[in-house]
Structures are given as structure tokens and as C-alpha cells.
Amino acid sequence: MAVLSLQVPNSLNSILFSPSPPSWSFSFSFSNGGRLKRGKFVVLLSTHSNPKILKSNKKSKYGQRITPYDTDEEEEAEDEEFGKHYDMSGDDWLMNDGFAETHEFGVNGKIFKSQKGSGNQRLQEKVRGSKALKSRQGLITAAEQMDVRNGNDVLKKSSAGNVYQTSNKMKEVGSFNRDGRGKSLLRTTENKYQRLSDEIDLDEKWLPLLDYLSTFGLKESHFIQMYERHMPSLQINVCSAQERLEYLLSVGVKQRDIRRILLRQPQILEYTVENNLKPRVAFLMGLGIPNSRIGQIIASAPSLFSYSVENSLKPTVRYLIEEVGIKEADLGKVVQLSPQILVQRIDISWNTRYMFLSKELGAPRDSVVKMVRKHPQLLHYSIDDGLLPRINFLRSIGMRNSDILKVLTSLTQVLSLSLEDNLKPKYMYLVNELNNEVHSLTKYPMYLSLSLDQRIRPRHRFLVSLKKAPKGPFPLGSFVPTDECFCQQWAGTSLDKYLAFRQRLLLKEFAKKYEKQ
């Protein structure tokens, strides 16, 4: 049996940062009492030992080298619905359907692009060598051994403990004994922020902030987005960031919305509570917006914190009252329906859409004002890709301009519905299944906003199954009341019976769609 005895240098600092390869004193003895002469050996490290230090020459559109590793992809769910039985969709759906996008604005209109750092290849090589050496000495933990076997890079560890030591590589959370018997409690940011350190020049001072923001669900891909949108946001002191985000939570912002807010407006980490956040929250409350809705408005339009209250937000409100004609009592409702109205060029949005509707449909000013009051999102919709195609569809099914104006004034949300997935299928069902005519829509425009699968088809089929469906045109009024009122007034049966029927129908329709796919 052979025993190897090593004399470890005084600290790992001398290993990792010495200008020349470290020398180690050792002795080698056998169980029979024989010994080899003391000597020295040199640790040699190869740059080819770990493929992860090889960096691609390909660059992204921001001038960064493209990492060869897989990226995280997440699907964002839609945040709002028009109602339980309505087919209205949130802003995300509107953007997918070709409507005009709501612009986001950075502070002073500047967006910072990321810059790629040079990296620390030589340092990484030294650490891998020291870790492999510790493994032979029996001083390395099981987790660290796995890192060595997998070729992961772990940067230097201090004997002092509990400090961030190197740029972007490791956070020390323990101590290391020279005799190898002490516990080594490491938390390596190499594994946690590997992709981030490859993409940007990660500063060790950012690590506490990154750890804190990670509690809100932000990942490396999100930090890269924040860096590219506004790099200084990652330089904020973690205590200041915590104070600002906790204030947002205190006024009603949901924990799950913090991530989306930071991705859209990372500058918010720089805004102080007293001089920026509080004055704008007070401004929203002054519009008559209840406290319970403040958080939702901030989540929908976080860029409002980058606008001056006196020079931007208040003039926008005055324009809505004096030029558009929105009543002051309705301002709170309008902002709740469309918070983005506060951060867009309202004069251009209003004038272009008013002139279009006036010319295209002969809409008087009062009718357009009524549309904006009911559905202020109208001011965001593209004319060529949003408003005009839907107006032309209503014309194509036989509606006159006066009928279209009546429908839009009564239910402006029609302009937010998809042509292929919503308006056209409902029209075909109206004509082919309900044996009804287009002019009935002017009396019951709400039919166009109701869900075909959840309300229209189930109620129609249920009355047919009970043999209570009237001959001739099916009454659209049966789709308007609640489920309970429908069962009492139209079906004359229990709510449970109708709900069970609807569930079976939904499963059957789902099976049909699945078979087609």
C-alpha cells in the first residue's frame, strides 16, 4: 500500500493567481517502510481539457458572441379576458392578430446594447486544475467532483469565507482548512450564471442583485434582456432595488407581475420611491382609480414611471377631457380599460382614428367619443390591419354603413375580434344553424362578442334537444342572460342539467378538432 503526502500551499490564492505554476512538496511512502525522495512537481493545465471554455466566433445582432448552449424558452400566458363567456382577448392576442403595437419608452429614449467581455480563460483553467488536485487529495466534496468530471468551471475559493471574490465566477459561503478536514460550503455562480457570464461582462457586484431578482422568477435569459434594454439597471444596489420592488408590491402589484415589469421597464429599479414611484401612484389615485386596480395598471403600463407628471401625464389627461371629450368622471374607467392611453401620443392617435371613422362610416364626433369611452383600446388599433378589415367584413355580409356604425357604437369590442377565429365562424353559425339574418345583429350586437363554444352552440343545441327551439329564426335574445336565467326563462329545467349537457358537448367538439389535427 502506498501513501501520498502533500504539503498544501498557504492559500488557494497562491494557486490561482501566482504568475508561475505552483510548486508542491510531497513525499511518497510504501507500507513496507520504503520511501521516495522528497521533490517537487509542477501542475500543468491544458486549454483543451474543457470544451466549455471554447467560445464561438458567431455573433448576435448586438455584437455578442453567441453561446453554444441551449436557451430557456417560456410561453407567456394571456393575462386578461373579456369575461367568462366572452371571446374578448387581452393585449397579447391583439398584437398577434396584426394590430398596432403599443410602444414602450426608455428613460430619455435610450436603450443600452450589451457588450461582450473578454472572459477569464486562464483563471478557469487554474481552478479546474486545483479542483482536480483537491480530488486526488480527498479534500473535494462530491458535488465538486461531479463538476470536475463534467468539465464545469469553478472559480477560486477564499480562506476568508463569505465574500464575493472573483468577477462573475464564485460566491464563497464557508471556509477551507489546510489540513483538508474542514467543511467546504461553496455556492458556485459558474453553474448558476454560466450563460450570463458567457454573454455579458458580468461584474461580481451584480451577484446579490441577480440572486434577489431570481426570487421573482427571472432567469439568465431575462437578465440578458434587461442588460440589452438598459444595462445600468443591473448596477443597482440590492437594498435599493428591494425597497423599490417592495413598494410596488405594497400598492397592489402582484408578485408574478414583477418579472414582466422588469423585462419591459428595467429602468424601474433606478426610480426612487419618494421622488418617482409615489408621485405617479398618487397621480393615478387622483384620477379616481381605486387602490385595488393600481397594481394592475402599473403591470400593464410600467413605462408611465418614466414620464413626467407635470409635463406629460397631466397634459395627456387634459387633452382627453378638452379635445377628445371624455368626461372627467369617466377618466378613471378609461385608464383602467387601457392604461397605455397615458403613455402614447394621444393627439395623433385620436385625430387619425376620428378622421378615419368619420370619413369611412360618416361617424359623428359624439359616436366616436362614445366608442373611445367604452373601448379606449380603439386608439391603439392599426387602421389598415385592424379597423378597416373588420369594417369591410361587416360590409361583405350585407351590413350598411349605418348598421356598422350602430354595432360599433354599441359594442366597440367587435374591432378587437379575430376575423378567422371569431367573426366569420359566428356569422356562418348565425346563418346556417340558427337560420337567422344579418340585420338581427343590429338589435343584438352582443352576439358577436359571445363565445361560440361556451355559450352560443351549447344553448342552441340544448333547446333543440329539449324540443323547445322555436321554428324559424332562432332568437338571439336567448344568448344574453346568465346560465341560471336561461334555464328558468327558456329551457324550463335545472341549471345542473344544462351544465352537464354543455360539458358533454364541449368534450365532443374537442374530440372532433383533435381528430382533424
Residue spans of the domains in the chain: they are 345-449, 450-516
Single out the residue of 131, 130, 150 nearest to residue 141, CA to CA: 131
- Residue 494 has a pLDDT of 95
Residues contacting residue 230 through CB under 8 Å, at least 6 positions apart: 106, 107, 110, 111, 112, 266, 267
276-304: average pLDDT: 96
177-195: average pLDDT: 51
Q: Classify residue 114 as left (phi > 0), alpha (psi -120 to 50) or beta.
A: beta
- Residue 191 has a pLDDT of 61
299-303: average pLDDT: 96
- Residue 311 has a pLDDT of 96
165 pLDDT above the threshold of 50 = no
- Residue 280 has a pLDDT of 97
Q: What is the pTM of this model?
A: 0.62
Higher-pLDDT residue of 50 and 22 is 22
154 pLDDT above the threshold of 80 = no
Sole residue written with cell 436603450: 111
- Where is mean pLDDT largest: 52-66, 173-187, 245-259, 501-515? 245-259
State the CATH architecture for 345-449. Answer: Alpha Horseshoe (1.25)
- Residue 55 has a pLDDT of 35
30-55: average pLDDT: 38
- Residue 236 has a pLDDT of 95
67 pLDDT above the threshold of 80 = no
86-92: average pLDDT: 36
- Residue 18 has a pLDDT of 41
**C-alpha distances out from residue 261 to 213, 256, 296, Å:** 12, 10, 11
Q: What is the mean pLDDT of the chain?
A: 74
Of the CA atoms within 13 Å of residue 386, those in its CB half-sphere come to: 25
pLDDT band at 418 (very low <50, low <70, confident <90, very high): very high
- Residue 365 has a pLDDT of 95
